Chain A
Amino acid sequence: MKKKVASAMAVSAALSVFLAACGSNGDNGNGANASPSSSQPAASDASPSPSPSASAPASESASPEKAENFTVSLRHIQIGDAQKFRKAILDDVVKKTESEVPGLKFELDGVEDSVNRFTKLPAEMAAGNPPKIMDIFGGAGDTQKYAKAGRLLDLTPILDELGLKDKFLNVLEPFSVDGKVYGLPIGGNTEGIFYNTDIFAKYNLNPPTTWDDLIKAADTLKKNNVAPFAAGSKDAWVPNMLVNTLIGRIAGENTNSGFITGQSKWNSPDVVAAYQMIADWEKKGYYPKGELGKAYADMLTDFVAGKAGMMFDGSWRSSAFKDDAVGKDISGKVAFVSLPPIPNGKGNQTSVNANYGEGYGFSSDLNENELKAVKAFIKNMYSDEMQLRGLLEDGVLPSMKLSDESIAQVTDPVVKQVLDVLKNAGTTFPHFDSVVQSKVYTETETQLTKLIAGKATPQEVGNAIQKAQDAENAAAAK
């Protein structure tokens, strides 16, 4: 037994050296391809330490003794074909970091987004053994809860050390507790309507930029046996995106952030009206049959196959319509708009949802080596270069301040439309999933599914969620 372990370790040591070697090569190649200009020098200018690539790890590696090998677990959610651009960026950061930190080998563990967020991480956090680096969401249900329980690493000193503190847009709030930062959003997005321009042209429809045009488009498509909206309601967070925007528009843009303070209520007439709209659309048949059996990936598949004319999705999906991506079949035939102004809505009807909700968090349980690895990972992942790559390759909006020249490099038409949507927005509001407690959020999913299945009325949905909200607010006040 002992012997086996020893030999396995020897092999893995050899392997990690080999991989590290490949890693640095591969990284150079990709980096050169992806960002031909500016980003690298920009990073070093901004950083107070003499040279960012040498900051944390290099100083330690100067020590004479041979580096011992160690692994750092890294939980990511970039699995499947649709995530491949994001995964490529992650892979490059991993390779680069491994080449910089002697002896480091990342152990990547890819888990599907909602499984990670709602099943794996909560359990691991409860157990006190989360991965050292993990994909994490901001807000009371995720980062803030875990930070309060002492599970997450306080990143404030690291941000100071790396000079990253002022590089971020004003997006760290959901990842902060008492002014300390526990997670870093990787990028941002807004949720809106993708529509198939070919199908709209075929049925002579105007782009869905006004409410009347949207409804007319939906009715026309329905009549012609094309699903107006593609759906992925088996994963309830997917229809929850539209719920969120409807609440922001119908009940007001401050509603979502008011649930935890008690200023807004889930069962108030305005919020119920938002759910009522979902129920009405269900009744009108705006969604394909069997939508509760369709997962998030199916939504894209149906949309790409032309089975649906529109889909309400996050702007991150824009990367799926590139020439070499899963949605290449309709590349160039997709446009993105925000939800048009809703008649009689109480909110600012130019407001859009903007999320900087997903990023990386780090376990508070780190030894010295692991801390080095984490620092190097942060330095490499949260760089101008990777932010720009995220925007250009993956259509993810930067969470850090990028120069106008960098942003001007965007050529992808859909990403440009996304940027336009945000530029034209009067104001923005967050997704409630980064605001409310996790039990409340889970309840919104449970109830929304019931609403879609016709097993609950909008009022019942509002009441049930508010009940969970009351319980959580009471518990938080204690």
Chain B
Amino acid sequence: MSDTLSETDVARGESSWTPTDGRLLDVEDLQVEFRTRDGVAKAINGVSLHLDEGETLAVLGESGSGKSVTAQAIMGILDTPPGFVTGGSVRYCGTELLTMTEKQRREIRGPEISMIFQDALSSLNPVFPVGWQIAEMLRVHRGANRSDAREAAIRLMERVNIPGARQRVNAFPHQFSGGMRQRIMIAMAIALDPAVLIADEPTTALDVTVQAQIMALLAELQEERRMGLILITHDLGVVADVADRIAVMYAGKLVETADVHSIYAAPAHPYTQGLLASIPRLDQKGQELAAIGGLPPNLTRIPPGCPFNPRCRYAQDVCRHDPPPALREVRPGRRAACHFAEDVLADSAREFDHPHHLHGDGGEERR
């Protein structure tokens, strides 16, 4: 284990990238659209994020809210076509990534920013041994020879707690359990000791007990390497323990950002409020779980005004006609994109003790 550390420390030292003031990533006003035959889907409409060293940022949202697309745009692995980054900037250690050549970006992917995906079985190549796939990182980026790369792969597999790593280095992905496969993905992602790790729904496909183990491993690795971690999830339960900050996305926009504790105490955006109301809680037996009525909007036809207005119980005329305000500070360290954020906050604080008030279906209570 200490071998791994010393080796990767050296690797980190080779990196020509150093963050200023600990700021690793700066995403500003990112715009992504998908040009399909059914029209142009505006998947991301001006997302701004930042990530510091050793920090965990959770990006939360329903499927289709644009959280995975944001991650892929940061990585530069959007499928183009149909996906196009149409505006904004992504800076890594102060350097703009979006204007780089593909070749320059490849040198960042893996050594600096790396990513793990939801479904490790389909994300690993079925016809190559897992050790080979991990070693490939070192062979391609570091020019390591076959046996050194293999040894490094075994050490990495040991580091992510795969039992019998040396014996299983030549096994194929389908021969591992789901949790072990995700560990292999993680080993591959940290092989070059990146500064940023993006985890796109890393535990969604796993059993609850395994979920906890994987999250613990990620937290441990992050601590050990002072990585910035972006954790993309739709599962509020996963977020609470590990995240420092939370960004909530809806219809390709950030609707609220805050640190973990204040968001749980009192959400400032009606959407976040709805999300929290739908968590099962041990202290409220026998009550029906609240669900947010309606569906997220079709991204090719985002309704005028605030995209959440058809599902929102606070919606007024202004929400149906005018775009929502930009993220604005509603409390120190808390930003929300809602005209009525103060009302929501006040309600949230009050209703924290009487959550059943939240159960009204927004779709019906409108007007």
Chain B associates with chain A: no
Residues of B at under 8 Å CB distance from A? none
